[in-house]
Amino acid sequence: MTEVAAEGAAATPAGNGEPLVFEQPLNERMRAYLRLDFLYSQGLFHAHSSSQWTSRAAITSLLDIIAIITRSDIRADVLKELERQMAVYTEFQRRPNIDVDRLQALVSNLSRLRTELLTADSSRLQPLRDSPFLAAIRHRSAIPGGTCDFDLPDLSYWLAQPNATRDQALSDWLALLRPLCDSIAELLWLTRQSGRVRSEVAANGVFHIAFDRGQPVQLLRVSVPAELGVFPEISGSHYRASVRFVSWQGLNERARQVETDVPFDLICCH
pLDDT tens-digit map of 119-147: 988 788 889 989 999 999 999 999 999 99
At residue 14, the pLDDT reads 55
Please determine, for residue 1, whether its predicted confidence score (pLDDT) is greater than 90. Answer: no
Least confident of 12-16, 124-128, 187-191, 206-210: 12-16
On the CB side of 19, CA atoms within 13 Å amount to 14
pLDDT tens-digit map of 39-85: 999 999 999 888 999 999 999 999 999 999 988 889 999 999 999 99
Query: Percent of the chain, pLDDT > 70?
Result: 94
Question: Closest by alpha carbon to 218, among 190, 198, 199?
Answer: 190
Q: Tell me the three-class secondary structure of 178-216, residue by residue.
A: HHHHHHHHHHHHHHHHCCEEEEEEEECCEEEEECCCCCC
| Residue 189: Cβ within 10 Å count | 11
Spell out the residues 6+ positions from residue 35 whose beta carbon is closer than 8 angstroms to its own: 68
Long-range Cβ contact pairs of 129-135 (< 8 A, separation 24 or more): 129/66, 129/70, 133/158, 134/59, 134/62, 134/63, 134/66
CB 166 within 8 A of CB 158: yes
pTM above 0.95, yes or no: no
pLDDT tens-digit map of 199-209: 999 999 999 99
CA distance 102 to 79: 22
Please determine, for residue 27, whether its predicted confidence score (pLDDT) is greater than 50. Answer: yes
